[in-house]
Amino acid sequence: MTGTPIPTLFYGGRDTEASVLETNVGFQDNGADYIPLATSNAVAPAGASGECEFRNVYITITHSMEVDIRLTPIVDFVPLDGTGGQPDERLVFSLAALGARLTERFEMGLSKPFPLTGPARFRNALRGAWFQLQAEALLPLAAGDLIFEQVELQYEVVRESLVAEAP
């Protein structure tokens, strides 16, 4: 089949106006640069009332653009970003501009210092029921591709969730 390919369209709204937009074209929105922020769905591997030790996260990214990415672990809906008395356990890494797509896998260890204030004597695995991961670009996107292929969570169940009992 020859000819012009049919563009992929997206119907969406910005403020109060709805528009039909063409996808996969450029890296700006109405002249403004994209600075993406994405948060994974919350998972509770041991169930909602269980508890896990979260050990590592493995992130597989395919890219061809230059971008700095910051990953923030979120345990029991509390981001470990250095605010609210929480330790700053964010990880920042840089992806280089390339002529073709490259798939890379990154590992993020999940632990926090003990004690939380003062010099750390040792580190503990993060513990909780729920886990999420937030990824954000630190600069506007450039030309090229940035694809989060897969996120894997390594954990150990400490306590299983209690099964609800019928009265």
For residue 116, the Cα-to-chain-centroid distance in whole angstroms is 24
CA 13, 19, 20, 24 torsion-angle sign = negative
Cα dihedral angle (15, 42, 112, 56), rounded to 10 degrees? Answer: -120
What average pLDDT does this structure show over 133-144? 88
- Decide the pairing of beta strands 67-75 and 9-14: unpaired
pTM value is 0.77
Task: Indicate the fold that domain 34-158 takes in CATH.
Answer: Jelly Rolls (2.60.120)
Q: How far apart are the first and last CA of the chain?
A: 65
Query: Which residues is 18 bridged to in the sheet?
Result: 13
Q: Which residue has the higher pLDDT, 58 or 139?
A: 58
Instruction: Tabulate helix, strand, coil % of the chain (nearest 5).
Output: 0, 55, 45
Task: Give me the chain's average pLDDT, please.
Answer: 83
Pair 167, 71: CB distance under 8 Å:
no
Q: Where are the domains of the chain?
A: 34-158
One-letter amino acid identity for 31?
G
pLDDT in tens, 2-53: 555 555 555 555 555 555 555 555 666 667 777 888 899 999 999 999 999 9
Give the span between the Cα atoms of 72 and 78, in whole angstroms: 10
- Give the C-alpha distances (Å, rounded to integers) separating 92 from 73, 85, 132: 12, 21, 17
| Residue-level pLDDT at 166 | 46
- Radius of gyration, CA atoms only, the chain: 20
What is the biggest distance separating any 2 CA atoms in the chain, rounded to whole angstroms? 67
DSSP state of 88: B
pLDDT in tens, 74-128: 999 999 998 888 888 999 999 999 989 999 999 999 998 887 777 878 888 999 9
